[in-house]
Structure 1
Amino acid sequence: MLISSIYESIYDTGKRLLHYLQEIEEGRRSEGNDSEGLHGIEEELNKALEALHAQTYQVAVIAAMKAGKSTFESEL
């Protein structure tokens, strides 16, 4: 479904960004720069990814009989 593919895309992009930040920090440390400049961004990105992962939705579908409610439910 469209919503789940969008969710996966956002989550995967966030994970890649987190990985790149970690690589940058690792490179800076190997060069002797042990500043925490990117650490705050990494923490915020982790919080956002955790919130995205934990987020759930509840949808109520109200319609007349034989209006396709079961078909809609199977699409989810």
Structure 2
Amino acid sequence: MDDERSEMEIITFIHETDWNDFPEDICNQARRCLLDTLGAGISGHGTELSQIIHNFAASVYGGKGACLWLDGR
């Protein structure tokens, strides 16, 4: 019962929280993390390892789900 209650509290928090509810320093850090993730993805895109991972993901998880970044699949 406690797990179910905790789960509902988390779901409620997610649905009722707005970006403006967070302090500015938290929002700035979130932006930096997003830019870091995008930069790492873009810079590693052309590597052989990236192609191996993309091919693997497309063969195992391919279909109507999420697309692969910068891959077109």
- Tell me the TM-score range normalised by the shorter chain: 0.3 to 0.5
Which structure has the bigger radius of gyration? 1
> TM-score, with normalisation over the residues of structure 2?
0.37
